[in-house]
Amino acid sequence: MDKKETPNIYTLQRASYQKIISEPDAGYNPATFEKVLPLAKFGLPEAQFFVGEYYMYHDYETGHKKQAEYWLRLSAEQYYPPAELALGEWLFYGRHTFKTDPECEQWLLQSAKHQETRACYFLGELEKDKGNMTEACQWWLKGSESDDEWSQCELALCFETAQGVPYDLDAAIAWYKRAALQDRIIGNADVYYQIAVLKKYAMEKFADLSGWASDRFWEGENEMLRGNLAKAVSLWQWIPDPRAMVMEAWQMLHVVKGVVEKEGEDYFDDDEMFFEEEEESIKAVAEFFSKQNHPAAYYLMGYLYEYNICYIKKDIAKASHWYGKAAAAGDEVAAWKLKKMEEKAKTKEDNNQ
């Protein structure tokens, strides 16, 4: 191939690729795959990345693990940043065997260098696995400042549980909120945010208590400051005051997430009972704080109705009602939720018409 012709050929192939993926019915489907595959074989890194992603996520059950890695590697070796990240993620999960591959850090570092912010999350996870929580938080801080919501959730959790950074509930709330407000909202970021807000509110309430419940609560807080989450949650359990339910719900959520990693499996003997307790705790928290006219509780009630959890029947109208009360009280996440629900309802109406 003449060197002078190469740029023109690649330009034409790239234009062809853009045209294919811009078609109305384009996506990770067999028809688009068949059109893109010749471009991948030609050597176009974008097309190779598409084919690797197709095998990785959309044709995985047919046993194409090697094909996924092969095409992602071809693209990554041409310094295509999304492929560097995808290959690093693939190796992070050990080619989907969930045993990290030693090579993954190399590709994640390279993709982070090329401004792929999600790489910061995985690099933080690698440092966490090594026991280097301070270094993990540094990666998550870098990802958080670039608005990677996965990093923001991890960093918030570290501030909330004194892992790698000092205990700072206000900082945790701020990072949870930023994660929850993003369009690419993940998992329970919004619930973690609201539970953290409720925890702060409960702390203020506990300041007015006296006797055994108050002593036990503040003893748990002191354990938190020492970074001993397992000890803290054991102290908070069974405090005979309704406000203590927020501590239990907070504890339950984070044990599920794996914060108490070593103690987590033994912390509850029966997983099914554990999840039932988690749901009952969150429900009790919402009900208690809704009587306190607190916007975070209004939001949490809306969340329960929207997602049909904690034995509450799904009811979008009631969810909108509670989100509306929270938004009227100044909750920005609730206002975001309302906007998204309205957009979804309008889209559904347009499709029906």
Same domain flag for 212 and 347: yes
Higher pLDDT, 67 or 288: 67
207 in a structural domain: yes
5 in a structural domain: no
295 in a structural domain: yes
The Cα 202–Cα 243 span in angstroms is 6
264 in a structural domain: yes
Report pLDDT for 254: 61
Give the domain extent around 303.
Answer: 189-352
| End position of a domain, from candidates 26, 54, 70 | 70
Report pLDDT for 308: 78
Quickly count: other Cβ atoms within 10 Å of residue 95's Cβ.
15
Residue 352 predicted with pLDDT over 80 = no
Quickly count: other Cβ atoms within 10 Å of residue 104's Cβ.
21
At 161, is the pLDDT very low, low, confident or very high (cuts 50, 70, 90)? confident
DSSP 56: I
Residue 132 predicted with pLDDT over 80 = yes
Same domain flag for 200 and 346: yes
Report pLDDT for 270: 45
Same domain flag for 64 and 194: no
Cα dihedral 313, 316, 321, 323, rounded to 10, equals 100
153 in a structural domain: no
Report pLDDT for 247: 64
| End position of a domain, from candidates 50, 70, 90 | 70
Overall domain count for the chain: 2
3-state secondary structure of 29: coil
251 in a structural domain: yes
169 in a structural domain: no
DSSP 77: T
Which one of 29-33, 47-51, 253-257, 308-312 scores highest in mean pLDDT?
47-51
| End position of a domain, from candidates 51, 70, 89 | 70
275 in a structural domain: yes
Instruction: Render pLDDT for 8-57 as a digit per residue (tens, 0 to 9).
Output: 677 888 899 989 989 888 888 888 999 999 999 999 999 999 999 898 87
Report pLDDT for 333: 86
Percent of the chain with pLDDT over 70: 78
